[in-house]
Structure 1
Amino acid sequence: MKRMHVVVKRLMILATVVTLTACSSWIYRIDIPQGNYLEQRDIDKLRVQMSKEQVRFVLGNPVAQNTFDDNIWHYYYGIQYGNGNHLERSLVVHFDNGRLSKVEGDFELSDEFDTPLDN
């Protein structure tokens, strides 16, 4: 009788574990975004010789600025999707004498980037 009680107890524990692990795949997991969400249309608005204020208006505040050199701004966007996939994009903006000089990162620059807004 004692042996039967132990077997039933183990089967109940096993059934509980299997049930709980099966339900975990049905749990909704939220997407977790971090940083500046940038779209290609935002990058297309950038032009060489734009002021820092103009760049901030188009792209928003950078995620990171170099403490010792305010002429490099870093924009980063990452999202961890609930299904386990993730996406990362970065953009580095360089200024020379307070004017936009170079842009590097995961976006394509528009053909008009080298034409200042004044022209």
Structure 2
Amino acid sequence: MLVKKSLTVWLSAVVMTVMLSGCSSWVYRISIPQGNFLEQSDVDKLRVQMTQEQVLYVLGSPVAKDAFSDDSWHYSYTLNIGRDSEHRKSLVVYFENGLLARISGDFEEPEEFNIPLEQ
């Protein structure tokens, strides 16, 4: 009789655990930013013919570099806000002969981008 009662209690605990695991969407999820957070003001500092060291100083280390050449750097940022909302931004910086040639991505090209810095 005692074994039967403890088995019933154990079995009901397992059933309740399985049923409550279906409510996992109620669990609070932390928003975790990943990658390089850049703002338009950071991108506005870029100028054509900047060296790779200057771009590194302005934007920081890229998330990824081209594996076969050092001609493009990829900056990306992702922020998951809850389950259904995601904020993504990316920027790709292209170099020719070690100097900044162009940019592409989710940011606007700066107005003064084509004016080189004084050397």
Q: TM-score range by the shorter chain?
A: 0.7 to 0.9
**What SS does the corresponding residue of 1:95 show, helix, strand or coil?**
strand
Deviates more, 1:83-92 or 1:68-77: 83-92
In the alignment, the residues of structure 1 paired with residue 105 and residue 79 of structure 2 have an alpha-carbon distance, to the nearest angstrom, of: 17
Q: How far did residue 27 of structure 1 move?
A: 2.9
- TM-score when normalising by structure 1: 0.77
Which letter does structure 2 place at the counterpart of 1:60? Answer: G
The aligned residue for residue 72 of structure 2 is 72
- Describe the shift of the 1:30–1:51 C-alpha distance in structure 2 as closer, same or farther (beyond 3 A): same
The aligned residue for residue 5 of structure 2 is none
Which letter does structure 2 place at the counterpart of 1:67? Answer: A
Q: How far did residue 36 of structure 1 move?
A: 0.7
In the alignment, the residues of structure 2 paired with residue 84 and residue 103 of structure 1 have an alpha-carbon distance, to the nearest angstrom, of: 30
Q: Does 1:53 align with 2:53?
A: yes
Q: Which ranges of structure 1 fall in alignment gaps of 5 or more residues?
A: 1-9
The aligned residue for residue 91 of structure 1 is 91
Which letter does structure 2 place at the counterpart of 1:35? Answer: G
Alignment: residue pair count:
106
Query: What do you get for the CA RMSD once the two structures are aligned?
Result: 2.4
Q: How far did residue 25 of structure 1 move?
A: 5.3
The aligned residue for residue 108 of structure 2 is 108
How much identity, in percent, do the aligned residues show?
53
Which letter does structure 2 place at the counterpart of 1:82? Answer: G
The aligned residue for residue 27 of structure 1 is 27
Q: How far did residue 111 of structure 1 move?
A: 0.7
- TM-score when normalising by structure 2: 0.77
The aligned residue for residue 40 of structure 1 is 40
The aligned residue for residue 7 of structure 1 is none
The aligned residue for residue 82 of structure 1 is 82
In the alignment, the residues of structure 1 paired with residue 93 and residue 26 of structure 2 have an alpha-carbon distance, to the nearest angstrom, of: 42
